[in-house]
Amino acid sequence: MGFVRRHPFLTATTLSVLTILGVLIATGVAVWRAAHVDEARRVGRADVILVLGAAEYNGRPSLTFQGRLRQAANLYRKGFSNRVVVLGGKLPGDRTTEAEAGRSWLLTQGLPDKDVSAEPVGNNTLESLKAAASYMREHGMKSAFLVSDPWHNLRIRRMARDLGIRAYVSATWHSAARSEWTRLSGYSRETFAYLYYRVVGK
């Protein structure tokens, strides 16, 4: 107690640092745990499969994007849902949107045209999920499997549920986790992104 009275600023600073570290560690663990959960294993079916967009090059999905699309196609073929919606807008100079590029790719893999839609709105995750929530309301849908990279699971599930979607995550590891560095970078980035969303709301 004597030290605390003699050094109140140092004590307060130390406690603040320890609190911040505790929050970062707890959030990092939560991100890691969510990444290793495939909720399709316990949820038999949902109204729709939502695929979060990623980079595309002149209409051709990047390898990361293709990994997400393959996961969505697998869920569709196994009967987890009879509807797939690909999300994502475009940046200035892009020829097409992420959503349209993803939909086209799924059609080349044999998915029926009538069961695959593009929702080409949004240049970030939250904007895309807001567009998805509007689409689902218009079509009377309430539940969805979210397909992205595994370290996104915690944040996208939280965002989707905040938007009123009964959301479950089913990520792909096929192209997202190419190396230990990729995984570490993904977990670290998402730890801060999740905290930012919870504090700022975007």
Q: Report the candidate in 50, 39, 38 with the shortest Cα–Cα distance to residue 76.
A: 50
Phi, psi for 49 (deg, rounded to 5): -105, 120
Q: What is the pLDDT of residue 17?
A: 73
Amino acid in the structure at residue 13: T
Average pLDDT over residues 21-25: 83
Domains of the chain: 35-200 (3.40.50.620)
Residue 161, both tokens: 């549920």
Angle subtended by helix axes 125-138 and 153-162, to nearest 10 = 50
Residue whose tokens read 């938007």: 163
The gap between the terminal CA atoms of the chain, to the nearest Å, is 42
Residues, the chain: 202
Average pLDDT over residues 50-57: 94
Q: What are phi and psi of 146, to 5 degrees?
A: -100, 125
Is pTM beyond 0.75? Reply is yes
Instruction: Please give the average per-residue pLDDT across 72-95, as a whole number.
Output: 93
Tokens of 187: 């977990």
- Place 31 in a pLDDT band, splitting at 50, 70 and 90: very high
What pLDDT does residue 20 have? 77
Task: Report the 10 Å Cβ neighbour count for 13.
Answer: 11
Is 93 in contact with 102 (CB distance < 8 Å)?
Answer: no
Measured in whole angstroms, the distance separating CA 22 from the mean position of its chain's CA atoms is: 24
How many Cβ atoms from other residues are within 10 Å of residue 139's Cβ? 12
pLDDT in tens, 63-83: 999 999 999 999 999 999 999
For residue 3, the model assigns a pLDDT of 47
Reduced to 3 states, what is the DSSP secondary structure of residue 104?
Answer: helix
Q: Which residues contact 133 (CB under 8 A, 6 or more apart)?
A: 160, 163, 164, 165
Give the sheet arrangement for strand 116-119, strand by strand: 116-119, 84-87, 48-51, 143-147, 166-169
Instruction: Return the closest-CA partner of residue 31 out of 129, 133, 148, 131.
Output: 148
pLDDT at 4 exceeding the cut of 60: no
